[in-house]
Structure 1
Amino acid sequence: MKRVMFDLAALIVRIVIGVIFVAHGLQKWQGGLGAVSKMMGQSGVPLPQLAAAFTATVETVGGILLIIGLLVRPAAVALLVVLGGAFVFVHRGHGILSSSGGWELVGALGSVCLLLLVLGGGRASVDQVLTHWYRRKAEHRHAAQETAGASAGAAPAAPTRAAPAEPTRAAPAPPAESQPAPPTQPMPRSTPAEDTTAPRQHLPDDGSHRPGNLSDQDMSDLDALFNDEHRKPPNR
């Protein structure tokens, strides 16, 4: 509610002050800049012709800008310069009331311009409309940049070649502790198998080898028996 009241009050003040400045500026243009510059020269204003043209232009254009609410702060600065020069060179030393040439009107207009310079022209002004429009445009641009950045970040990145890895050298194994080798056992010699197919050698009969463990008496009996058989004649 306070913001709405301030905007309404700023609008009324801008229109009223703007109309006053436009009226003074048009008066100077209609009366002629020559008369204005002569009056300023008599008051001690330096460069009176240039000062008269500058004053008439600032009051007319500045008043219009205050009414529509465009460039309110720059217009307020320019009007403060004009009012300050009028106070110093024309109205100072003549009291307060404007009837005696005092600074009554200059002080009131200057105070309002200072207030507009500090607080601005309110939301009911062209400045506020342009500011809102530029702000929305900047937000849209920022959102578009964020969207473009997000889409660019989602794109697959180009494959980068990995640097070849250096071959790792295996650490040398620690030397094994020398241990005495176990004693080697001689391999047993394989005895050749007895060949049973080879013919047996008949050992001489010297009495040392006797079959069947026969005694000497048995052997003599056998010899006698064989001899008797050989002596018998063959059967005819």
Structure 2
Amino acid sequence: MIEKLRPAALLVARVAVGLIFIAHGWQKLFTLGTERITGMFETAGVPFAALTAPGISVLEMVAGTALVLGLLLPVAGTLLALDMIGAIIWVHGPNGLWLENGGYEFVLSLCAASLAIAYSGGGLLAADGLWRNRDRRVTSGADPY
């Protein structure tokens, strides 16, 4: 029973996590703005804040979209996990674990979820899986259409 539900669970997980990253990237770029985010990154001691702030914003939107689509999951998930590790180190870590104090519990959860999705496969309707299945049909000699 569990194996039958696994693809649907992975679909739900990657869409939920992907949408969270898209929303946070969007917020950084278009709601708060790169100038404000750059200032926040500088205050936190993030290296090369003028480049990192817009780069992280775009990364969260692009890699979040990749999670939703199930595309390049190992790359997208790993990059998002590294993004969250940076957020723990420079922003949330000094505040402790608890979210109410600006801590890292939510960021750590996103990090773990990104890695789990990256290396578990995409589940239903994942572009990576559709591509892999197409390749198997072509290399097996079966009619791919």
Relative to the length of structure 2, the TM-score reads 0.91
What is the CA distance between 1:123 and its match in structure 2?
A: 4.2
What is the CA distance between 1:2 and its match in structure 2?
A: 3.0
Q: State the identity %.
A: 32
Q: Tell me the residue number matched to 2:90.
A: 89
Q: Tell me the residue number matched to 1:3.
A: 3
Residue identity matched to 1:28 = K
Deviations 1:188-236 (A, max 9, x none): xxxxxxxxxxxxxxxxxxxxxxxxxxxxxxxxxxxxxxxxxxxxxxxxx
**1:1-236 map, 5 Å:** 1-30=1-30, 31-140=32-141
CA–CA distance in structure 2, aligned partners of residues 33 and 99 of structure 1: 25
Aligned-residue CA RMSD (Å): 1.4
Which consecutive aligned stretches of 4+ in structure 1 deviate over 3 angstroms post-superposition?
Answer: none
What count of residue pairs does the alignment treat as equivalent?
A: 141
Paired residues of 1:123 and 1:129 also in contact (CA < 8 A): no
What is the CA distance between 1:119 and its match in structure 2?
A: 1.3
For structure 1, the 5+ residue unaligned runs are 142-236
Q: Which has the higher helix share?
A: 2
CA–CA distance in structure 2, aligned partners of residues 53 and 79 of structure 1: 15
Specify the SS of the correspondent of 2:90.
helix
Residue identity matched to 1:70 = L
What is the CA distance between 1:118 and its match in structure 2?
A: 2.4
Deviations 1:158-213 (A, max 9, x none): xxxxxxxxxxxxxxxxxxxxxxxxxxxxxxxxxxxxxxxxxxxxxxxxxxxxxxxx
Paired residues of 1:8 and 1:124 also in contact (CA < 8 A): no
For structure 2, the 5+ residue unaligned runs are none
Specify the SS of the correspondent of 2:141.
helix
Paired residues of 1:68 and 1:126 also in contact (CA < 8 A): yes
Larger radius of gyration: 1
Specify the SS of the correspondent of 2:8.
helix
Which structure would you say has the larger RCO, counting Cα contacts within 8 Å and 6 or more residues apart?
2
Moved more, 117-126 or 99-108: 117-126
Paired residues of 2:25 and 2:61 also in contact (CA < 8 A): yes
Relative to the length of structure 1, the TM-score reads 0.57
